[in-house]
Structure 1
Amino acid sequence: IGFSGQMHGLVVLDGDGKVLRPAILWNDQRTVREAAEIEERVGLARLIELTGNRALTGFTAPKLLWLRRNEPDVYARIRHVLLPKDYVRYRLTGERAIDAADASGTLLFDVRRRAWSEEVCAALEIPPEWLPPAHESTEVAGAGDQAAAALGVGVAHAGPASVVLGTSGVVFAALPAYAHDELARLHVFCHAVPNTWHAMGVMLSAAGSASWLRSVLGGEPAELDAEAAAWQPGAEGLLFAPYLAGERTPHPDPDARGAFVGLTARHDRGALWRAMLEGVAFGLRDSLELLRELGADPQVGRASGGGARSELWLLIVASALRLPLELTESEEGSAFGAALLAGVRAGAFADAEDAVARCVRVRRRIEPEWDYEEGYARFRHLYPTLKELR
């Protein structure tokens, strides 16, 4: 059985392996104070150097510090720390373990060395014996969802990028060698392929923006797409800032806010829908540009996620990224990637690259069609302008 799991969540156990409290998940934002404390204790530059990331509220370590401050009785009883998928494995096998890809999202892992960071644990006063042994994903340790999903669409090495139009939006690229962004505008994690790394930009409201706008406007997605297609690219100057739940890349700001800018009396439901699709595409472009600065040079993107069911959105994203997009036969990216990794350990494949070569098939390719450079240039002014208005 191969596992993929949501990253960053915290499950705490006592000495008998009993859960001490409900899990605190990746999207929980209660740890703003603790994230700042981590950057102060370790030093921001040193934290980024060791973990490839700055301290964001969604990560695991801030949750542990929150428990220490707010639930000291629970904290005093902790003997084991697991991530959600690893707790499921523990219940199935009785074995505590984690993979390097998922461990990368804890802020307690030395991403370059692919091992727990004694320095970070000491600075945060977190006992390292609480942490499970770390393995490579091909040892049937599973993988974080994004690493597994990328493998499931064929991103096993530097080359294609994974472009995910899920509730959040992700642009993911395997790196030719370990590197990190000194400003931590990108996440850098261990890949599920042994001894490789990846970087990814994450926007918090991709298909989430579509779900929200549909709840406001009404209508079925196909109906809204048809109305949006009646508008020319740019929707006569209408822009959408997709910061409905704060943002991560390239603006690590939980207080970022969304907006429509440039509304006129001519704009209708279709124009709003098109501007939203384009705004999300521009947010993904922000991530792609940072990946290129870090040394990734994808020539094609492999699209997945619920938003990839929209023909119009795929064409908009391909055009905004100036990157052809491909769809693979399997639509179950994370689960498929986890199955491929389990297949490596079971002997069905020689390694992860062999699994991808034999099992991942491209079924469609979408070429860029429209020029969005002027619109993207205008979009890049939205975040700083909106920030000044708070």
Structure 2
Amino acid sequence: MSYLIGIDIGTTGTKTILVDERGNQLASALEEYPLYTPHPKWAEQEPEDWWKATVNTVREVMEKSEINKADIKGIGLSGQMHGLVIMDKKHQVLRPSILWCDVRTSGQCEYIRETVGTEILTQSTCNPVLEGFTAPKIIWVRDNEPEIYEQTANILLPKDYVRFRLTGEISMEVSDAAGTLLFDIKQREWSQVVLDKLDIHPGLLPSTYESIDVCGQITPNVAEITGLLAGTPVVGGGADNACSAVGNGIVKEGRVSASLGTSGVVLAHSDQVRVDPDLRLHSFCHSVPDKCYIMGVMLSAGGAYRWFRDTVAQRELSEAKANGTDPYDLLGAQAATAPVGSEGLIFLPYLAGERTPHADANAKANFFGLTLRHQRSHLVRSVMEGV
């Protein structure tokens, strides 16, 4: 039997699964890594952390499954969208990746609106100018770290950086490229008019492929450290939401999904490019060749729950570690003791601003309605209900 490996470069961690040709999962592994917020509105990660987690989780699923490496017929990747990875001509990463939930770029967004114009942006990129997209991050580096921008030779997104480390090939696929604000969604190619107006050299951007295209093969060095077979094909893969949609069967008109990861997403398949006239929604290329999808995003969903776990739930983290359990199970049990509605306590989950339907990088989170009546269980439940 033949087998496949899927690698997801998430915001919380990297998860790798090994499945047979019928989709049955034989093994999985997860490794978490930090998210850094050195200043208000900033959110960064180290690409090297993604790579280490990829190597470790791939090696773990190979060991768990005991599958012959020659039977692994292909590897696909999905990953968090929009994150900026910049490398020099020697393929060294020049700075931490600026993530999708980073909202420092309001000034750069205004520059893009004034320089490119809403009409061109709507016709070409089919999306609003938002702080989370990649183009404002590129311009932020150019404005604030010119010495780094001058060294930049390649711009990638998170999963494409990991594919580069796996194969040595620099490429990007269309579902992720669509989230850069530099991509012509209708033509499925880089938008020369937007690049020209923003003075971003097209040579910084990689060739683009469809999600199903083979973009490289596992190198001998990677094979040695992961247990994979050198030469194993690696495909383009896709943006996390596009891949999730494919996995859930959102591949035909009329099908819609709602998913909760670090962010929360409502997504609808579309056979053609459709653009919200008020630009409240995103229109992106799908991982289904030549198809698109429409998406609304809430920036802090599972991410809000993780924030609560890491910031407030030290007791549960310690107890879970001691007992070999999951701290989320302990938090969920507490939440179950509070009534529906948390007795009037409301959590607004705007920890990183918001996108849909109110695009506002300055939106802030808060607990609203706290009284002497409220206990820890109410706090946990209100976070869940706020999402």
Q: TM-score, with normalisation over the residues of structure 2?
A: 0.65
1:93 to 158, 162, 167: 167
Residue 74, structure 1, aligned to residue 164, structure 2: no
The aligned residue for residue 24 of structure 1 is: 98
Report how far residue 7 of structure 1 moved.
1.7
Structure-2 change in CA distance of 1:213 and 1:64 (3 Å):
closer
Residue 175, structure 1, aligned to residue 270, structure 2: yes
Structure 2: distance between partners of 1:125 and 1:157: 38
Give the match's secondary structure for 1:271: helix
Structure-2 change in CA distance of 1:223 and 1:12 (3 Å):
closer
The aligned residue for residue 247 of structure 2 is: 152
Judge conservation of contact 2:258–2:265 (CA < 8 Å) in 1: yes
The aligned residue for residue 66 of structure 2 is: none
The aligned residue for residue 290 of structure 1 is: none
Paired AA for residue 276 in structure 1: V
The aligned residue for residue 216 of structure 1 is: 312
Q: Which residues of 2 match residues 257-276 of structure 1 at below 5 A?
A: 257-276=364-383
Structure 2: distance between partners of 1:228 and 1:208: 17
Paired AA for residue 381 in structure 2: R
Structure-2 change in CA distance of 1:156 and 1:271 (3 Å):
same
Residue 229, structure 1, aligned to residue 339, structure 2: no
Report how far residue 257 of structure 1 moved.
1.3
Structure 1: distance between partners of 2:308 and 2:134: 31
> Which deviates more, 105-114 or 8-17?
8-17
Structure 1: distance between partners of 2:282 and 2:134: 14
Report how far residue 203 of structure 1 moved.
1.4
Q: Which residues of 2 match residues 91-240 of structure 1 at below 5 A?
A: 91-139=165-213, 140-214=235-309, 215-216=311-312, 219=316, 220-240=327-347
Structure 1: distance between partners of 2:361 and 2:169: 36
Judge conservation of contact 2:101–2:299 (CA < 8 Å) in 1: no
Aligned identity (percent) is: 51
Number of residue pairs matched?
280
Structure-2 change in CA distance of 1:236 and 1:91 (3 Å):
closer
Judge conservation of contact 1:243–1:257 (CA < 8 Å) in 2: yes
Report how far residue 191 of structure 1 moved.
0.7
Judge conservation of contact 2:103–2:131 (CA < 8 Å) in 1: yes
Unaligned runs of 5+ in 2: 1-74, 214-234, 317-326
Report how far residue 100 of structure 1 moved.
0.6
Q: Which residues of 2 match residues 242-321 of structure 1 at below 5 A?
A: 242-280=349-387
Judge conservation of contact 2:210–2:287 (CA < 8 Å) in 1: yes
- 1:189-219 per-position Cα deviation (integer Å, ceiling 9, x unaligned): 1110011111222212212222333443654
Paired AA for residue 203 in structure 1: M
Q: Whose strand fraction is larger, Structure 1's or Structure 2's?
A: 2
Report how far residue 260 of structure 1 moved.
2.7
Report how far residue 41 of structure 1 moved.
0.8
Paired AA for residue 306 in structure 2: S
Judge conservation of contact 2:101–2:352 (CA < 8 Å) in 1: no
Report how far residue 45 of structure 1 moved.
4.1
Judge conservation of contact 1:29–1:58 (CA < 8 Å) in 2: yes
Q: Whose helix fraction is larger, Structure 1's or Structure 2's?
A: 1
Unaligned runs of 5+ in 1: 281-390
- 1:41-88 per-position Cα deviation (integer Å, ceiling 9, x unaligned): 111343233212222222221122122222323323333322232233
Structure 1: distance between partners of 2:308 and 2:140: 34
RMSD of the alignment, in Å?
2.4
Report how far residue 175 of structure 1 moved.
2.2
Structure 1: distance between partners of 2:210 and 2:243: 12
Give the match's secondary structure for 1:52: coil
Q: TM-score, with normalisation over the residues of structure 1?
A: 0.65
Residue 39, structure 1, aligned to residue 116, structure 2: no
Tell me which of the two structures has the higher relative contact order, counting C-alpha pairs closer than 8 angstroms and 6 or more residues apart.
1
Paired AA for residue 351 in structure 2: L
2:134 to 50, 60, 64: 60
Structure-2 change in CA distance of 1:240 and 1:121 (3 Å):
same
Structure 2: distance between partners of 1:106 and 1:138: 20
Residue 4, structure 1, aligned to residue 100, structure 2: no
Structure 2: distance between partners of 1:158 and 1:248: 24
> Which deviates more, 96-105 or 153-162?
153-162
Paired AA for residue 57 in structure 1: E
Structure 1: distance between partners of 2:89 and 2:312: 49
